[in-house]
Amino acid sequence: MVGKNGKHPGVDGSRYAIHPDPNVGQLKGALLKDIARSVYVYRVDCGGCNGCEIEIFASITPLFDVERFGIKVVSSPRHADVLVYTGAMTRSMRIPALRAYHAAPEPKICVAYGACGSSGGIFHDLYCVWGGADKVVPVDVYIPGCPPTPGATIYGFAMALGLLGQKMKAVHHVQQDGEHSQIRYPELPSRLRVEIERESRRMAGYLHGKKIANSFLDLLVAHQADGAGKVEQEIQAYLSQQDDPRLTEIFTSLQQIYQAERK
């Protein structure tokens, strides 16, 4: 569209004028302050309506041009610094989502994108949905919205890159001579710990199975000195608070292993 004077509307200071945002320069500086190269983003579609994908694609078009901030979308998680999880985390996508997470090199940032990616959205209570991305992978940044606008997308990526800089500068502990790592739950027999964790992961998967096993072992360590009856009582109290039939099924199987070990 061209104005009466042959110029584009806004160039002459009309009401359509495009005034550069002074924060844009600060945002770009924040993005590139700690990382002297482009940042690569990989998107993982976990099961949504594709509304978030449309907004992500809009943010990389020339209108918003997220690449001017050094943010580039890549086609493989092996090249990614940032993983963007869109859509509710469906059960069929849990394993592919974990594979993408493990394929990305460290340090990496996980972004839960949109209402569905953050909490499961309107699909949160479906039988085939785990919830948001944080139910499966550790999430560093949440970008809310249904769907988020390209502006919110760019701001969320800026936050992610700030966290990425922190992770890149993290101080790692160096093990000294004679220093040994402490075994978790030393009060319990090693065979019992292994069997409980193995069974929990078999029934609930690698990540959630580990969390469930830790919850069960925490209860054992806290109350085993009070006797098997007290342990059983605390487990039932814990399950009544969670109100999760699947968790109850897994805990029942773990209790059988514990009871067999005590005999």
The 3-class secondary structure across the chain, one letter per residue, is: CCCCCCCCCCCCCCCCCCCCCHHHHHHHHHHHCCCCCCEEEEEEECCCCCHHHHHHHHHCCCCCCHHHHCEEECCCHHHCCEEEEECCEEHHHHHHHHHHHHHCCCCCEEEEEHHHHHHCHHHCCCCCEEECHHHCCCCCEEECCCCCCHHHHHHHHHHHHHHHHHHHCCCCCCCCCCCCCCCCCCCCCHHHHHHHHHHHHHHHCHHHHHHHHHHHHHHHHHHHHHCHHHHHHHHHHHHHHHCCHHHHHHHHHHHHHHHHHHC
pLDDT (0 to 100) of residue 2? 33
Backbone angles phi, psi at 213, to 5 degrees: -60, -40
Domain coordinates in residue numbering, the chain = 22-168, 190-262
Q: What is the number of alpha carbons within 13 Å of residue 164 lying toward its C-beta?
A: 30
Question: How much is the pTM?
Answer: 0.52
Tokens coding 182: 């402490």
Classify domain 22-168 by CATH architecture: 3-Layer(aba) Sandwich (3.40)
pLDDT (0 to 100) of residue 156? 78
Burial of 221 (0-12, 13-18, 19+ CB in 10 A): middle
In the chain the first and final C-alpha atoms are separated, in Å, by 84
CB under 8 A, 24+ apart: contacts of 178-187? 184/217, 185/217, 185/220, 185/221, 187/221, 187/224
Pairing of β 89-90 and β 129-131: antiparallel
* Residues of the chain scoring pLDDT < 70: 1-37, 162-173
pLDDT (0 to 100) of residue 21? 55
Backbone angles phi, psi at 148, to 5 degrees: -65, 145
* Tens digits of residue pLDDT in 19-36: 445 555 555 455 445 555
Pairing of β 141-143 and β 109-113: parallel
pLDDT (0 to 100) of residue 78? 87
pLDDT (0 to 100) of residue 257? 92
C-beta separation of 133 from 89 below 8 A = yes
C-beta separation of 118 from 132 below 8 A = yes
